[in-house]
Amino acid sequence: MTSPLETSPSPRKIDLLIEARWIIPIEPKGVVLENHALAVDRGHIVALMPITEAETCFAPEQRVSLPGHVLMPGLVNLHTHAAMTLLRGYADDLPLMRWLQEKIWPAEARHVSADFVRDGTLLATAEMLRGGITCCNDMYFFPEASVEAMQRSGMRAAIGIITIEFPTAYATDPDDYLAKGLAVRDRYRDESLISFCLAPHAPYSVSDRSFERIATLAGQLDLSIHIHVHETRGEIDESLRQYGVRPLERLRRIGLLGPGLIAVHGVHLNAEEIDLLAKYGSSIAHCPTSNMKLASGGAPVAAALAKGVRVGLGTDGAASNNRLDLFQEMRHAGLLGKLVSEDAAVLDAHTLLGMATLEGAAALGLDGKIGSLVPGKEADLCAVRIDDWMLQPCFDPASHLIYVAGRENVSHVWVAGRPVVSAGQLHDIDMSKLMEIATVWQNTIRS
C-alpha cells in the first residue's frame, strides 16, 4: 500500500517567500494577519497564508524572515513633482501664488532642462523608495527624462503629460506640450512599470481651448486627467471674476469630470462640489503637508469620504513639503482630518492606510495590479520594522504605522517582486552619486 506521504504533492517552487510578524493586506479592509507568509513568483503574489502552511506548500528560491515587521503593499504617491526635489527648501514660508510667481517659476525658467529633471527625479525616487513608496503620479516638464530616472531606480510611475499656457525650455505652447508628451507616451507605452496621464497644470494656467482638447484626448486614449484644483481661495475668486463660475464647475462644463479625473488638493470644496465629484466618480489627491505649509487650508476629506469620493494621498513636490514621505502624509491627514471635522473618530488607521495604497492605485486605474496584497496582483511591497524599543509597546500594528513608526523604519521594499531596498539600503542607486548631484545643483541654483 502507498503511504499518504508518498502521494502528497511536492512543494511548489517559487521565487520568494516572505514571513512576517504581521501582514496588512488592505483588502479586506481592517484585517491584520499575524504570523503569515506571502508567496511571490515571477513578480506576482501567489498566496497569503499562515507561515506553518506556507512552509509545507512552497519551496522558495529565497526566504525572507521579518519577525518584528509589518508587511504591507507599497505606498502610492498620488501627486508629486519629483524633479522639484532640487528646489527643496529654496522658497519656504510663502503663500502659494507668491511662492510660484516670485521664486519657483523664475527658478524653473533659469534652470529646468532635461538634465535637471533627470537628476532631480533620480534624487526623488531614491527618497521615495527608501520610504516605502513604490509608485508615484508625477507632473513635470521633460517627461522622458523623468521616465529615464524612474527606470534607472526601478520605480513604478504614472507620468503626467503636462500642459500649461506659457512657454518654457520644454515647449512653446499647449499644442507643443501635448505633442511632445504624447510622443513620449508612444515611445514607452509598453514598459511594464510606466503608465501615463494627461496633466493640465491648473484652471488658472490652462485655457478653455486647451481643456477641450484634453477632454477629447482623455476619451480617445483612455487616459486619466491629473490637475491641481481648488487649492486656494484666491484661485476660486479669480475664476469667479474671469469665468463667472468656480473652477470645478468650469471643468464640468468643459467635460473633464469623470472617473479618470484626479483633483489635486481640493482644499476649498463646498458640499455641492463634493457631491459633484461623487456623482462623476472622480478622485481627490490629498496633500495635507503641502496644504498646511503653504497655508492653503484644511481639505474637507472626512466629508468627501462620507459621500463616497475616492481619496488618495500625495506629497506634492519637495519644494513645498519639503519631504517625499507618505508616512508623514498619513499621520498629517489623520490629524488634520480630525481637526477640520472636529470628530476624533474619522480617518481611522485602516482608512489612512487604504488612502496611501489601494485608493491611490484605483485613482490611477492600477488597482487591478497593485495597492493590496491579493493573489494575482504584482508584488509591490513594503516592510516596516516596529520592534525597536522606541516604538514599544505595540497594541495595534495598523495604528502604529500611522502614529508611531516612520519612513526611517522601512527595511525592505519590492517592486513587481524585485528587491529595491534591503535592510534599509537601496539596491540600484549610488548614494555618493546622489550627494554629488544635489551639491552641483545646489551650487548652480544658489549662484
Q: Are both 49 and 180 inside the same structural domain?
A: no
CATH of the domain at 42: 2.30.40.10
pLDDT confidence of 2, banded at 50, 70, 90?
A: very low
Q: Are both 68 and 92 inside the same structural domain?
A: no
- SS3 at position 191: coil
Q: Are both 168 and 184 inside the same structural domain?
A: yes
Place of cell 503608465: 195
Q: What is the pLDDT of residue 8?
A: 60
* 4 in any annotated domain: no
Q: Are both 60 and 204 inside the same structural domain?
A: no
Residues 6+ apart with CB under 8 A from 218: 198, 224, 225, 256, 258, 260
- SS3 at position 188: helix
Rounded CA gap, 376 and 378, in Å? Answer: 7
Query: Which among 180, 179, 139 is positioned nearest to 158, based on CA atoms?
Result: 139
Query: Range with the lowest mean pLDDT among 270-279, 401-410, 430-439?
Result: 430-439
High-pLDDT (> 70) share of the chain, %: 98
At 355-393, the pLDDT tens digits run 999 999 999 999 999 999 999 999 999 999 999 999 999
Q: Are both 90 and 152 inside the same structural domain?
A: yes
CATH of the domain at 265: 3.20.20.140
Residue 422, pLDDT above cutoff 90: yes
* 264 in any annotated domain: yes
- For the segment 241-248, the average pLDDT, to the nearest whole number, is 98
* 67 in any annotated domain: yes
CB contact at 8 A, 129 and 413: yes
CB contact at 8 A, 79 and 316: yes
Query: Which among 274, 282, 280 is positioned nearest to 306, based on CA atoms?
Result: 274
Q: Are both 260 and 303 inside the same structural domain?
A: yes
* 422 in any annotated domain: no
Q: Are both 250 and 147 inside the same structural domain?
A: yes
Decide which of 55 and 2 is more confident: 55
Q: Are both 345 and 408 inside the same structural domain?
A: no
- Domain housing 171: 81-363
User: Looking at the 3D structure of the chain, how many domains does it have?
Assistant: 2
152-176 CB burial, b ≥16 within 10 A, e <16? ebbbbbbbbbbbbeeebebbeebee
Rounded CA gap, 332 and 16, in Å? Answer: 34
DSSP codes of every residue in 220-263: HHT--EEEEES--HHHHHHHHHHHSS-HHHHHHHHT--STTEEE
- For the segment 132-161, the average pLDDT, to the nearest whole number, is 98
Q: Are both 274 and 321 inside the same structural domain?
A: yes
Rounded CA gap, 146 and 82, in Å? Answer: 8
High-pLDDT (> 90) share of the chain, %: 95
Q: What is the pLDDT of residue 4?
A: 42
Burial class (CB in 10 A: 0-12, 13-18, 19+), 74: buried
Q: Are both 120 and 52 inside the same structural domain?
A: no
CB contact at 8 A, 84 and 416: no
pLDDT confidence of 97, banded at 50, 70, 90?
A: confident
DSSP codes of every residue in 112-168: -SHHHHHHHHHHHHHHHHHTTEEEEEE--S-HHHHHHHHHHHT-EEEEEEEE-SS--
CB contact at 8 A, 36 and 51: yes
Kindly report the average pLDDT of the chain as a whole number.
96
* 2 in any annotated domain: no
Cell numbers for 208: 478653455
At 308-338, the pLDDT tens digits run 999 999 999 999 999 999 999 999 999 999 9
At 258-267, the pLDDT tens digits run 999 999 999 9
Cα–chain center distance at 288: 13
pLDDT confidence of 96, banded at 50, 70, 90?
A: confident
Q: What is the pLDDT of residue 5?
A: 43
* 5 in any annotated domain: no
pLDDT confidence of 447, banded at 50, 70, 90?
A: confident
* 427 in any annotated domain: no
Q: Are both 408 and 318 inside the same structural domain?
A: no
At 177-232, the pLDDT tens digits run 999 999 999 999 999 999 999 999 999 999 999 999 999 999 999 999 999 999 99
Query: Which among 131, 122, 121, 129 is positioned nearest to 80, based on CA atoms?
Result: 121
Beta-bridged to residue 227, according to DSSP, are 263
- How much is the pTM? 0.96
DSSP codes of every residue in 358-422: HHHHHHTT-TTTSSS--TTSB--EEEEE--SGGG---S-HHHHHHHT--GGGEEEEEETTEEEEE
Q: Are both 289 and 352 inside the same structural domain?
A: yes
* 161 in any annotated domain: yes
